[in-house]
């Protein structure tokens, strides 16, 4: 089975008006995505932010649960947060994943607006092949990944769709659904 990685990207992402911005890291995203990643055997969860202050914030939140009072309060949360590596950019995340996996990960672009993407069943089958390349899910914060991130991708994953036209899941909910579709029993 191929290694699966998650990258939570905070730049470049879009705001509600389609402008490219840098979004802020939230502790909810760190906790919830890490717990989903741990549940579905993700190899590593990369939190990507270009600003050192935001990376420092993420490390403080994570370290509270790894080393401080949080460690004693809930060791299972620590186990999940141990998957997180905070990095400055996608290149750093891909290099770290390649070091862990021994092969460069294929970058999988995710979006609620993606067109003509690979479906989850196909990617799941590819991940289950013996000699499959690792895959890194690129998750956008704000209102999704900016167009340059799509250009970096090796594959585009089909969007998650409900029965109606409304489609604006939180990144935490989308990550959990994607991981279940790719690795769930």
Q: What is the DSSP letter of 161?
A: -
Q: What is the pLDDT of residue 113?
A: 86
The model's pTM is 0.95
Using CA atoms, how far residue 73 sits from 22, 70, 96, in Å, is 33, 5, 30
User: How many alpha carbons lie under 13 Å from residue 8 in its C-beta half-sphere?
Assistant: 33
Q: What is the pLDDT of residue 70?
A: 59
- Round to whole Å and give the CA distance between 185 and 141: 27
Mean pLDDT score, 160-164: 93
Share of residues in the chain with pLDDT > 70 (%): 96
Q: Which of 125, 144, 145, 148 is nearest to 135 (CA)?
A: 125
**In degrees rounded to 5, what are phi and psi of residue 142?**
60, -130
**CB atoms near residue 181 (< 10 Å):** 16
Assign residue 171 a region (left: φ > 0; alpha: ψ between -120 and 50; beta: otherwise).
alpha
Higher confidence at residue 78 or residue 153?
153
Domain residue limits, the chain: 4-183
Taking only the tens place, the pLDDT of each residue in 123-141 is 999 999 988 999 999 999 9
Q: Is 141 helix (H, G, I), strand (E, B) or coil?
A: coil
- Contact call for residues 107 and 91 (beta carbons, < 8 A): no
Q: What is the DSSP letter of 159?
A: P
- Residue 17, classified by CB atoms within 10 Å of its CB into exposed (0-12), middle (13-18) or buried (19+), is exposed
CATH topology of domain 4-183: Alpha/beta knot (3.40.1280)
């Amino acid at each position: 089975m191929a290694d699966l990685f998650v990258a939570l990207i905070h730049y470049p992402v879009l705001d509600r008006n389609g402008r490219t911005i840098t979004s802020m890291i939230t502790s909810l995203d760190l906790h919830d995505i890490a717990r989903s990643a741990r549940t579905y055997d993700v190899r590593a969860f990369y939190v990507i932010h270009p600003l050192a202050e935001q990376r420092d914030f993420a490390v403080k939140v994570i370290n509270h649960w790894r080393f401080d009072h949080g460690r004693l309060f809930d060791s299972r949360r620590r186990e999940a947060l141990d998957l997180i590596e905070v990095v400055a950019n996608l290149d750093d995340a891909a290099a770290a994943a390649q070091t862990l996996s021994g092969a460069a990960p294929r970058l999988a672009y995710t979006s609620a607006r993606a067109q003509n993407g690979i479906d989850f069943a196909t990617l799941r089958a590819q991940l289950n092949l013996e000699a499959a390349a690792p895959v890194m899910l690129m998750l956008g914060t704000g209102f999704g990944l900016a167009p340059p991130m799509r250009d970096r991708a090796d594959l585009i994953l089909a969007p998650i769709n409900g029965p109606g036209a409304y489609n604006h899941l939180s990144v935490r909910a989308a990550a959990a659904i994607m991981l279940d579709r790719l690795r769930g029993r």
